[in-house]
A and B are shown apart, each in its own frame.
Chain A
Amino acid sequence: MRLTDLPLRQPAYVDLIDWSALTPSEGQRLREFGLCEGASVEALHHGGFLGKGPIACKVGRMTIAMRRAHAAAITVRTGPEMPDMESAA
């Protein structure tokens, strides 16, 4: 499921990010925000009064806002955490 379709306040984690759909600097910024395969995310708010607005989501302990176009490049899976993350850490 894409991050755009993730229901609000439902714990999920990032399955895959289509970096090619993002400009290099956008990709870099998302990475710096801590978005990567396996990171936990939670969609918090959908904005937009005139047209579709950005999405605010929680990544780790941080709340970040991104456009739908960015969120559409992120595939997520619902669930508290990626199964093999625990062992990796």
Chain B
Amino acid sequence: MSGLPLVALVGNPNAGKSALFNALTGARQKLGNYPGVTVERKAGRLALSDGRPVELVDLPGTYSLDPTSPDEQVTRDVILGKQEGERRPDALVIVVDASNLDNHLRFAIELIALGLPTIVALNMVDLATRDGLELDANILSRELGVPVVSTVAVRKRGLDHLRQELDGLMNGAPRPYTGDAAHDFDKVRGEAQRIARAAIVRETPSRRLTAAVDRVLLHPVAGFIILLALLFVMFQAVFSWASAPADMLEGWVTALGEAVTNTLPPGIVHDFLLQGVVGGVGAVIVFLPQILILFFFILMLEATGYMARAAFIMDALMARVGLSGRAFIPLLSSFACAVPGIMATRTISDPKDRLTTILIAPLMTCSARLPVYGLIISAFIPARTVGWGVGLQGLVMFLLYVFGIVGALVAAWALRLTVTKGQSSGFLMEMPKYQWPRPQDLLIGLWQRAVIFLKRAGTIILFTNIVLWVLMSFPKAPDGVRQSEYSIAGRIAGGINVLVEPIGFNRDISLALLPSMAAREVAVSAIATVYAIDAEDDVEALDKGLGERLQGRWSLATALAFLAWFVFAPQCISTIAVTRRETAGWKWTGFMVGYLFVLAYVAAGLTYWTATALGLA
């Protein structure tokens, strides 16, 4: 804990607190145009105009100081100084949405009444202008009794003014609130309405863009079809748009491998670099374009305001499995990664609802599974179209995602009937106005994802693969025996293989299963390493792509069973860790891992036996 003055950003959900936090501290907190993006306290540093540092905290949005969900609880605890090990903030910056003043002022008045030194950031004035509203910050300041600064957080407008006001605030004495209305909800609301009316100096009727777009996107039939179509295009695009850049990356990886062969003498160092590092990690890195395309879509959904619409559209269906449409947002986020998805369930107020959502979040196909799907699909599914420009590979990819979603819904339904039985909660949600994302924000978002992915490849994936390479390279196999089977890793895999042989898995897969718990992508690098090691002296084999080599060694039934397995399992260590933290214990974590493994086993088995019966072996 630092001794710096502590300033907290508070306000309603989606007011632009995190955007302001980023603009003031240079941080890169996640933004999204839907309520409930920030779910935990995040601290950063800001220098006042005279250079003095101040600690700024970004908090989850909330509508009042009476929390109804775990994320709102955090905000209340921080503001009231009840958070364990944390000081109470010395000052508040209340962020209000200028285009929704009546509502946001109500909470602002409640906060001002706490008596802390306070500034109001009248944010999103650009949106208010779009809506035909003209506001007077001075009137607002006079009525509220605190400084009010107009800002446009995403365009960094009004920041200097805000810093100046903060300066004054940190120097001056706190001014106690003089109003007495703060404890009577209806009085505060009336007061908020009155002040909002006074502050709006002009209101010109404007086109209601959001309502017009929603007439289509929220239409009972069209809206649902558009949602499906969006997901379909998303997964098609992952395959079809990525092929050119992926080929280029593959070319680079191959060239790097050749460079290693040409510069280093044959021997252990050469083998290590070629098989364990370039071959293994390279096999994962070529999936960077696919992952970026996926994130492009997710970022678009988050930034435009469509997430809340998806929740609206899915609510009726989610209600049938005992959840609320709200839960669809964490699930959609889990397409990126289950860890933030599970964190996002903090916005769900009902504990049983929340637990159920946590338990099914890992069923959503996270981006780490993309390389596994991608590898198997490109090896075993022909790259042809099935008409109307729809690629077969993309279609299979889409079906795997749908398989995950349907699996999650069925699991939720079963859980709600048994272990997480309880009254299903309602669906109450604010629908944000649509916004068109700015290209530079999208690019920065994608850049961040690329860095995260490459860091993963360079750390956990590389590390796991190195360990695997060592275990696979020793002891050296005698002639005529496959190295991958004779080695330590091979023997361990042999043990696992007894368990998974009935569901069609071979030794390569058994080898990949354990290390892929560290990170799912390791399944790909592990298989690549197995083949590189076994092909050691076979120059021709090395020239073949990984997919081609797979075709020679796996039956289609085995490949399909492997895919089915990966829809459900394994859960990576980070998912298990975050589940433990969010469910506060091992009980539900163990349950989650257990039921998903069982599901994975059964799904893979059914797939294998069906495929074999159909003669696909």
Q: Encode B496-527 as 1/0 by CB contact (under 8 A) with A.
A: 00000000000000000000000000000000
Q: Encode B282-324 as 1/0 by CB contact (under 8 A) with A.
A: 0000000000000000000000000010011101110110000
Contact check, A54 vs B312: say whether CB atoms are below 8 A apart: yes
> Which stretch from A10-18, A23-31, A74-82 is at the chain B interface?
A23-31
> Which stretch from B43-51, B153-161, B189-197, B327-335 is at the chain A interface?
B189-197
Tell me whether A56 and B325 are in contact in the complex, defined as CB-CB below 8 angstroms, given that A47-B316, A49-B220 are known contacts.
Answer: no
Q: Does B117 contact A (CB under 8 A)?
A: no
Name the B residues within 8 Å of A34 (CB-CB): 102-103, 106, 189
Contact check, B220 vs A53: say whether CB atoms are below 8 A apart: yes
Q: Shortest CB–CB separation between residue B491 and chain A, in angstroms?
A: 51
Q: Encode A21-60 as 1/0 by CB contact (under 8 A) with B.
A: 0010110111111101000000011111111111010101
Contact check, A66 vs B426: say whether CB atoms are below 8 A apart: yes
Residue of A nearest to B193 (CB): A89
State the CA gap A64–B211 with chains docked (Å). Answer: 12
Residue of A nearest to B67 (CB): A25
Contact check, A49 vs B102: say whether CB atoms are below 8 A apart: no
Name the A residues within 8 Å of B308 (CB-CB): 65
Name the B residues within 8 Å of A69 (CB-CB): 426
Q: Encode B160-198 as 1/0 by CB contact (under 8 A) with A.
A: 000000000000000000000000011001100110010
State the CA gap A56–B131 with chains docked (Å). Answer: 19
Contact check, B66 vs A28: say whether CB atoms are below 8 A apart: yes
Contact check, B211 vs A48: say whether CB atoms are below 8 A apart: no
Contact check, A47 vs B189: say whether CB atoms are below 8 A apart: no
Q: Shortest CB–CB separation between residue B228 and chain A, in angstroms?
A: 10
Residue of B nearest to A54 (CB): B315
Contact check, A47 vs B220: say whether CB atoms are below 8 A apart: yes
Contact check, B316 vs A33: say whether CB atoms are below 8 A apart: no
The main secondary structure of chain B at its interface with chain A is helix
Q: Shortest CB–CB separation between residue A79 and chain B, in angstroms?
A: 19
Contact check, B102 vs A60: say whether CB atoms are below 8 A apart: yes
Name the A residues within 8 Å of B131 (CB-CB): 61
Residue of B nearest to A70 (CB): B426
Q: Does B221 contact A (CB under 8 A)?
A: yes
Contact check, B427 vs A67: say whether CB atoms are below 8 A apart: yes
Tell me whether A49 and B68 are in contact in the complex, defined as CB-CB below 8 angstroms, given that A26-B426, A33-B103 are known contacts.
Answer: no
Contact check, A65 vs B427: say whether CB atoms are below 8 A apart: yes
Contact check, A47 vs B218: say whether CB atoms are below 8 A apart: yes
- For B431, give its contact among A50, A63, A67 (CB under 8 Å): A63
Q: Does B64 contact A (CB under 8 A)?
A: yes
State the CA gap A23–B429 with chains docked (Å). Answer: 15
Residue of A nearest to B221 (CB): A49
Q: Which of B100, B428, B429 has the largest count of A CB atoms less than 10 A from its CB?
A: B428
Name the B residues within 8 Å of A54 (CB-CB): 312, 315-316, 325, 427
Q: Does B215 contact A (CB under 8 A)?
A: yes
Q: Shortest CB–CB separation between residue B311 and chain A, in angstroms?
A: 8
Q: Does B430 contact A (CB under 8 A)?
A: yes
Q: Does B224 contact A (CB under 8 A)?
A: yes
Q: How many residues does chain B have at the interface if contact means C-beta atoms less than 8 Å apart?
A: 47
State the CA gap A54–B308 with chains docked (Å). Answer: 12
Tell me whether A53 and B316 are in contact in the complex, defined as CB-CB below 8 angstroms, given that A25-B349, A46-B220, A61-B102 are known contacts.
Answer: yes
Residue of B nearest to A49 (CB): B224
The main secondary structure of chain A at its interface with chain B is mixed
Name the A residues within 8 Å of B433 (CB-CB): 63
Q: Encode B539-560 as 1/0 by CB contact (under 8 A) with A.
A: 0000000000000000000000
- For B429, give its contact among A36, A61, A64 (CB under 8 Å): A64
Tell me whether A32 and B186 are in contact in the complex, defined as CB-CB below 8 angstroms, given that A46-B220, A64-B429 are known contacts.
Answer: no
Q: Does B609 contact A (CB under 8 A)?
A: no
State the CA gap A69–B211 with chains docked (Å). Answer: 23
Name the A residues within 8 Å of B220 (CB-CB): 46-49, 53
State the CA gap A49–B427 with chains docked (Å). Answer: 16
Name the A residues within 8 Å of B312 (CB-CB): 47, 53-54, 56, 65
Q: Encode B191-219 as 1/0 by CB contact (under 8 A) with A.
A: 00110010000000000001100110011
- For A66, give its contact among B102, B193, B427 (CB under 8 Å): B427
Contact check, B428 vs A48: say whether CB atoms are below 8 A apart: no
Contact check, A64 vs B319: say whether CB atoms are below 8 A apart: no
Q: Shortest CB–CB separation between residue A30 and chain B, in angstroms?
A: 7
State the CA gap A15–B186 with chains docked (Å). Answer: 16
Contact check, B223 vs A32: say whether CB atoms are below 8 A apart: no
State the CA gap A26–B316 with chains docked (Å). Answer: 18
Tell me whether A47 and B313 are in contact in the complex, defined as CB-CB below 8 angstroms, given that A60-B103, A70-B428, A89-B194 are known contacts.
Answer: yes
Contact check, A52 vs B316: say whether CB atoms are below 8 A apart: yes
Q: Encode B93-127 as 1/0 by CB contact (under 8 A) with A.
A: 00000011111001100000000000000000000
Residue of B nearest to A46 (CB): B220
Name the A residues within 8 Å of B190 (CB-CB): 88-89
Q: Shortest CB–CB separation between residue A86 and chain B, in angstroms?
A: 11
In the A-B complex, list the 6 residue pairs whose CB atoms are closest, starting with the nearest: A32-B63, A53-B316, A49-B224, A45-B218, A63-B431, A48-B316
**12 pairs, CB–CB < 8 Å, chain A vs chain B:** A26-B426, A26-B428, A29-B428, A31-B185, A32-B107, A47-B220, A53-B220, A53-B315, A60-B100, A61-B131, A63-B431, A89-B194
Q: Given A58-B211, A62-B103, A89-B194, list of 13 further CB < 8 A pairs? A: A29-B68, A29-B428, A32-B64, A32-B107, A33-B428, A45-B215, A49-B221, A50-B320, A54-B312, A56-B218, A65-B325, A88-B190, A89-B197
